[in-house]
Amino acid sequence: MIDEQRIKEVAERIGAAADAERVVLFGSYARGDASRHSDVDLMVIAESDLPRFKRSRELYQLFRPYPFGMDLVVYTPSEVEEGM
């Protein structure tokens, strides 16, 4: 299992790098039912002109090697408002 403090540190680093309005933990860690096989799911809300499928690439590059399994999705504030 991944320590909550470590997840918070990574989320803050991602948020700063993306100049994010918000970084949201979702999935099994957010629900409290993560297992040792679970990855960390983070939704980043930030302005971007890039197509959705390219937005997380730069953020993944911050973590080589990755500190743990992560799934990053990046949405703009307007996409979140529209329901993605």
What pLDDT does 34 receive? 97
Domain assignments of the chain as residue spans, ordered by start: 4-81
pLDDT in tens, 38-78: 999 999 999 999 999 999 998 988 887 778 899 999 999 99
Write down the CATH number for the domain with range 4-81. Answer: 3.30.460.10
Whose CA is closest to 46, among 70, 78, 71? 78
Separation between Cα atoms, residue 18 and residue 14, nearest integer Å: 6
- pTM summary value: 0.91
What pLDDT does 41 receive? 98
Q: What percent of the chain has pLDDT over 90?
A: 81
- Strand partners of residue 41: 26, 71
